[in-house]
Amino acid sequence: MKVCLPVLFLICILAGIFLIAGCQDINVDADTLKTPVFAIASGSRFYPNMMVTINDLNTGSQIRYTDDGSIPDESSTPYTVPFQISATKTIKARAFASSYKPSATATATYTIVWIQKASMPAARCNHAMVAVGDYIYVIGGFNSGGVATDTTYRYDTINNTWSTMTATLNTARARHAAAVVGTKIYVFGGYDAGDNFIGTIEELDTIASTPSWTTKTAVLNPVRADLAACTVSGTVYLMGGIYYNAGWQYLNNVDSYDSSGDSISATPPDLVSERYFLGFAVNGSTIYAIGGRSSTSDILDSYETATAGGSWTTSANQLGDTRFGHACAVGTNIYVFGGVIDGTAGNGIEKLTIAGGIWSAETYTTPAIVVYAQAVNCSGSIYLTGGDQTGDASADYSTLYLLNE
């Protein structure tokens, strides 16, 4: 059979194209090693001492990496096992092997969410924690033996140092609440060292030449523990709590405290639901009462809001999980940290986007499982400290963490 030369030439070209296409690999240059792959995607948020794992897609090569932003070369640190990072880092990695060209550079940036600061002088849980200026005050709380204490610790956020103040509470207490009016701190209620309910209020003037706690004349009625307190426009609002009177009484009471007149008023409208071990937050003049336990549904996933002194409304947008014994703080968003989550001590974090009013679970957690910790915003940053691991009211933690929002 005769085949004309132009047709034969065309057949040969097409056959060559198909042959070349069939032999192609992922790497166009077979002498170049494949790029390493980070097990956790770039942009992820870590808590301190998380492990970085780098996967090698080649056989017989050596991955080398840097954490200072430079491109790895054959003198860079060899990767052999997963390694820890304790600060925000950009990690770069390449594969090397004799007779091969080095791989392209893989890059991953990891943000450390929790920055570990100096630890408290001793572990505390069910304590109160407030901020005045650049200082954080940790007041009372249970020690590691589960006994209420009268200590006041002060943390200097500028110098990262703690001190034990000579000012001690007149009544040792835990499961109490605290609020700030100007430069004065007030503590309300709680349990004493004998596990008795307390109705007294104490005041500490932080700028006095010799600060000391003073017991006020006004008392809580009813006496109670596990309440929340916050300040709006100079008035302290006291929310919820629990007490015992011929049976457990779960409260939805909201009282206001006038520090200038040392008087308590029951005038503000009450919460919609009974709540104790609740979280709270303030944004402008809006108060948030978040989660907690109640007499009717035990652990709550709801939250309520009210303009200070106004009626409370239960939001249609609930937490993703029921929780109590959690810590709350306001930054660019409202956060809840740890607590007993769906009946189990946990480390989950949820965030309420203030503008949208929607809760979402964060992809990172608290540094450990923690219940009965406290969080506070001081000088624009959120700090978390104290708590226990199981919810047994015996303090396990003294570490202070700064949230890198």
Question: For the chain, what is the mean pLDDT?
Answer: 91
Q: What is the pTM of this model?
A: 0.85
Are 138 and 85 in a shared domain?
no
Both 317 and 334 in a single domain? yes
Q: CA 383: distance to chain centroid? A: 8
Supply the pLDDT for residue 296.
74
Q: Strands, E, within 309-387: which ranges? A: 313-314, 323-324, 327-330, 334-341, 344-353, 358-361, 374-378, 381-385
- For residues 64 and 139, membership in a common domain is answered with no
Domains contained in the chain, number:
2
Same domain, yes or no, for 91 and 238?
no
Domain containing 107 equals 1-112
| Residue 363: Cβ-neighbour burial (10 angstroms; 0-12, 13-18, 19+) | exposed
Q: Among residues 96, 112, 128, which one ends one of the domains?
A: 112
pLDDT at 377: 96
* Whole-number Å distance between alpha carbons of 64 and 46: 22
Q: Residue 403: which residues within 8 A CB-CB, separation 6 or more?
A: 113, 114, 115, 329, 331, 335, 381, 382, 383, 384
Asked if 36 and 126 sit in the same domain, the reply is no
Task: Write the pLDDT tens digit of every residue in 166-183.
Answer: 999 999 999 999 999 999
Residue-wise pLDDT for 22-75, tens only, equals: 333 334 467 999 999 999 999 888 776 778 999 999 999 999 999 999 999 999
> Looking at residue 249, which CATH number applies to its domain?
2.120.10.80
Question: pLDDT tens for residues 271-303?
Answer: 999 999 999 999 999 999 999 999 877 899 999
Q: Are residues 106 and 127 in the same domain?
A: no
Spatial CA neighbour of 382 closest among 123, 131, 50: 131
* Per-residue pLDDT reduced to its tens digit, 147-161: 999 999 999 999 999
Q: Residue 3 pLDDT more than 60? A: no
Residue 10's pLDDT band, with cuts at 50, 70 and 90, is very low
State the Cα–Cα distance between residues 177 and 229, nearest whole angstrom. Answer: 6
Same domain, 132 and 92: no
- Which of 112, 129, 152 is the last residue before a domain boundary? 112
pLDDT tens digits for 97-152?
999 999 999 999 998 889 999 999 999 999 999 999 999 999 999 999 999 999 99
Together in a domain, 133 and 98 = no
Domain stop point among 77, 112, 147: 112
pLDDT of residue 29: 67
Asked if residue 33 lies in contact with residue 102, where contact means CB atoms within 8 angstroms, the answer is yes
Please check whether residues 209 and 252 belong to one and the same domain: yes
